[in-house]
Structure 1
């Protein structure tokens, strides 16, 4: 039956119809931090449809993309009072338990001998900007998809499975060099009941501004083994109004006056990211030993995080007998906005409840993760995982959490 399905998919591909059905589950078990034995399970069932209209009707360079998912489960990080960018199971989120969620629907048009591509429709920002196939080697939410301080730093940086109306233009002036820019709607209530948890609401009535990212990237290849690298620098501006972390409407500390926060117009984000293959283990684009590192900076006046930086290694195919197995280690740290921390210290000194779900003034959170993806057979992988979360919810009064996990991914 599996062979028959595979043959059917191949026949569809030849006709310009790409169909992928996959299942991902992520389970985590806490080993300590006062919640030993606590566990969480989350899954996603996804369906992706890509149509090549050149093969279908002769419309050269035009392809449409659509995806829906089912998500369900439990977020174990919430059991520790951690509502930060950390999450033991990256597959949890985007509205939580949702029977059917429309992720995106958009089209891409290639022009000028494929040197220019235009995308337009309802789509996430992170499928094009600050993107890397290495990020989702890992199971922790702080990295998978993109460094999550970008998403939490500005509502405009919409991330999978959320999407807003937008467009993106990418230009390749020469091989291995690209520049791209986008324009997206900003929806602070994306993936919420106030707007639409299912993703099928195409209305813009709750949009608060526009998000404009620009990114320049290099994809060099070194030596006879074609040691490929990916380097990118991006900057983005969100035109929406955001509450100031420290000042009230009159320019005084809001924690002292207890007045409404000042509304700041716009915020800026910056990311610098790169990875480089140092050893090639096979012919595939990811078959090798990679080092990766990056830095994200947000506007401190109105973002919960100032910096996030990370370092990691990913090694695929190092074991010749198992060329599709992948090993990875990553370390990530996110620091709280100093303006937000100053407000929290004033509230803490006054004995008031703190914002951001904190029980103590926040500082930073660090994540250490080691993972090994075992390729069982075509279309099936099993991934044991270990994570250590230091200062959960960015609080030094919370003990570190050690957890083990298991990720299962099956594709038809």
Structure 2
């Protein structure tokens, strides 16, 4: 299903100040920004015009309501450091209030009600520097923490009064790698693969403890059409076992209000 839209209304998105230091090895940004613009991103994902891949693997939004992505921005700060030309580390802190993304605010709810959302990532690039002729690859790994209050699914599924727990966390990894080049280095014509894996291990508060994507892409197969792109991808997500009542127990339907939010862009 196509997901080309931006919130079904007009809104303010990015309002930020950015500064680069030390010959562009250090980048700082503060203002109204979205974590999904910088973290958990692969350029391969934008080929797949559907929410499982594009623009961030959607599994994170099931478990972290404080994670933001276009067209929702929030108050936040980001620091990115490049110790070498191939590697980077970055970290960000954000106002994790999911209600600011509601369409009725049009991006103008600039409150800072919290809670805190924190995320960090490290990445490494294989080949691709000037003079190198090897096949380009990008490898990234990260973690996040959301200080929101989460419904304990073990109480809801058993028909008890819902109990609330504070905080959830997760880790992730993603990569993209060119396997075959169709022409000279730097042409961007070739065959590559991509994949991601997201784990949020606490099933009592994580709607989707495991999520993964995998796919391949072909760009510029015909020399006369170097920018044509095609691909095939698979998305898999596993819902929490704690959302299911135990055998023989009375079931209780989980209301939407008892679950953490999904990707802002699809609200």
TM range (shorter): 0.7 to 0.9
Alignment of 1:246-257 (within 5 A): 246-247=154-155, 254-257=156-159
SS in 2 for 1:107: strand
Per the alignment, residue 200 of structure 1 pairs with 108
Task: Quote the RMSD (CA, aligned, Å).
Answer: 2.3
Alignment of 1:168 onto 2:78: yes
Name structure 1 gaps, 5 residues minimum.
1-87, 248-253, 358-412
Alignment of 1:291 onto 2:193: yes
SS in 2 for 1:135: helix
- Higher percent of residues as strand: 1
Alignment: residue pair count: 253
Alignment of 1:264-303 (within 5 A): 264-281=165-182, 286-298=188-200, 299-303=202-206
SS in 2 for 1:190: helix
Is the CA contact (8 Å cut-off) linking 1:317 and 1:323 kept in structure 2?
A: yes
SS in 1 for 2:61: helix
Per the alignment, residue 90 of structure 1 pairs with 3
Give the Å deviation of 1:191: 2.2
**Which structure's relative contact order is higher, taking Cα pairs within 8 Å and 6+ residues apart?**
2
Q: CA distance change for structure 1 residues 180 and 350 in 2, over 3 Å: closer, same or farther?
A: same
Give the Å deviation of 1:143: 0.9
Alignment of 1:140 onto 2:43: no
Alignment of 1:243 onto 2:156: no
TM-score by length of 1: 0.57
Structure 1: distance between partners of 2:206 and 2:5: 23
Structure 1: distance between partners of 2:157 and 2:47: 41
Give the Å deviation of 1:268: 0.4
Q: CA distance change for structure 1 residues 285 and 240 in 2, over 3 Å: closer, same or farther?
A: farther
Give the Å deviation of 1:225: 3.0
Is the CA contact (8 Å cut-off) linking 1:208 and 1:241 kept in structure 2?
A: no
TM-score by length of 2: 0.86
Is the CA contact (8 Å cut-off) linking 1:107 and 1:119 kept in structure 2?
A: yes
Is the CA contact (8 Å cut-off) linking 2:158 and 2:251 kept in structure 1?
A: no
Alignment of 1:118-137 (within 5 A): 118-137=28-47
Q: CA distance change for structure 1 residues 306 and 116 in 2, over 3 Å: closer, same or farther?
A: same
Q: CA distance change for structure 1 residues 240 and 286 in 2, over 3 Å: closer, same or farther?
A: farther
